[in-house]
Structure 1
Amino acid sequence: MSIFGIILLLLVAAIVAVGLFVWKSYNRLVTLRNRYQNSYSQIDVQLQRRYDLIPNLVETAKGYMAHERETLEAVIAARNQAMSSSRAAAAAPGDPQAMQQAMTAEAGLTGMLSRLMVVSEDYPDLKADQSMQTVMEELRTTENKISFARQAFNDGVTLYNTSREVFPNNLVANTFNFSFAELWQEVTAEARRTPRVSFS
């Protein structure tokens, strides 16, 4: 075999090796992106369940909290804002702007629900109401499911982001526009504080 033939063979082998690397890296990035997007859909399912429970909570509270109309309306407004932001994030999971808006709206909703719970403490009959207790238990269960789904989403996003940033995968990621995905993080200072427990 001539030198020209050997050089040509080596060149073809190098091109095939690069092509296989690009193919493998591209497919891995697509797989990881699809996994974290699927993880977000699990968050979305639980958030929708939460949104569906809130009107029941408000309706139950209305009967007891006639003087707290402003609080109840604020809870519904926060729910509607969170639903809208969640839909935008579900359309583009991991998109930094959509995720930031969803996290902010969810923090607002959580704050309004906390405010409602504080106000409801002044209404013992409301706390004792069986419908209220049922809705509250369903909300607690849903919050736990949301937490687990967020953890799975963040794990998927971290794996994807790490894979797209390491060399030489970053060359493929940049070439084919595999963009950075945003983690779901708590945006309120209260969420970062350790809860204070008092038995006195």
Structure 2
Amino acid sequence: MEPGVFESTAWLPLLLKLGGGGVLLFWIVGAYNRLVRLRGAIGTAWSQIDELLQRRSALLESLADAVREPLADEGVTLAALIQADQRQRTAAQVVRSRPSHAPALVAWVLAEAELASPLARLQALIEQRSELAMSEPVLPLQRQLIELGPRLVYARQLFSDAAEAYNGALEEIPTRAVGRLFGMRSASRL
């Protein structure tokens, strides 16, 4: 009696190769999707920072308007504050489009540092004039700015944690090969 198709073992190596190739393909797709999900978490974390930055910019604009007349002799400080805030907003907008891009994040961090000096100067000027510091439009704006500070620090930490998780996944073997295959680069932390 001749062996039937199912009795022959000639097809077994082919079946094993196809099965192994299928498993490898599913693993590559899974690893890629994991990296994409982790990279997306970086964008989500930046969105939280961006929302707080926009809120802070609106507060700074309102504060500058509220103190413009009483601090008319400090126009240079107010102008420096508005210009530094505008540079920070421009840098943040660039990061919004590519939140894991290191040069964009560096530019934003530098713009943030540049904003700190005129903001501190303005707050010092307001504190020197107690009647201005306690006035109705200024006091609530300053309180809101103060309350926004820790929230911004927390959002930056979430961003750094998301970048660290993504970078860690990129360094894991064998996921590292998938990241390189698709040109994925590590993300910067704040």
| Secondary structure of the corresponding residue to residue 173 of structure 2 | coil
Amino acid at match of 2:175: N
Question: Could you tell me whether the CA contact under 8 Å between 1:94 and 1:182 is conserved in 2?
Answer: yes
d(CA) in 1 for partners of 2:114, 2:9: 71
Amino acid at match of 1:180: S
**Which residues of 2 match residues 1-200 of structure 1 at below 5 A?**
2=8, 4-184=10-190
CA distances 1:15-59 after superposition (whole Å, capped 9, x unpaired)? 112111101101101111111111111111110000111111111
Greater mean alpha carbon deviation, residues 83-92 or residues 137-146: 137-146
d(CA) in 2 for partners of 1:147, 1:182: 16
Percent of residue pairs identical: 28
Give the unaligned 5+ runs of structure 2.
1-6
Question: Could you tell me whether the CA contact under 8 Å between 1:64 and 1:125 is conserved in 2?
Answer: no
d(CA) in 2 for partners of 1:86, 1:4: 62
Question: Could you tell me whether the CA contact under 8 Å between 1:25 and 1:169 is conserved in 2?
Answer: yes
Amino acid at match of 1:137: R
d(CA) in 1 for partners of 2:91, 2:62: 21
| Secondary structure of the corresponding residue to residue 11 of structure 2 | helix
Q: CA deviation at 1:128?
A: 1.8
TM-score (norm 2): 0.91
Q: CA deviation at 1:3?
A: 5.5
Instruction: Report how many residues are paired.
Output: 184
Amino acid at match of 2:78: L
Q: CA deviation at 1:175?
A: 0.6
d(CA) in 2 for partners of 1:98, 1:140: 26
Question: Could you tell me whether the CA contact under 8 Å between 1:94 and 1:181 is conserved in 2?
Answer: yes
TM-score (norm 1): 0.87
Q: CA deviation at 1:6?
A: 2.4
Runs of 4+ in 1 over 6 A off after TM superposition: none
d(CA) in 2 for partners of 1:125, 1:107: 29
Task: Choose 1 or 2 for highest CA Rg.
Answer: 2
CA distances 1:68-108 after superposition (whole Å, capped 9, x unpaired)? 11111100000110010010011110110111111110111
d(CA) in 2 for partners of 1:176, 1:146: 33
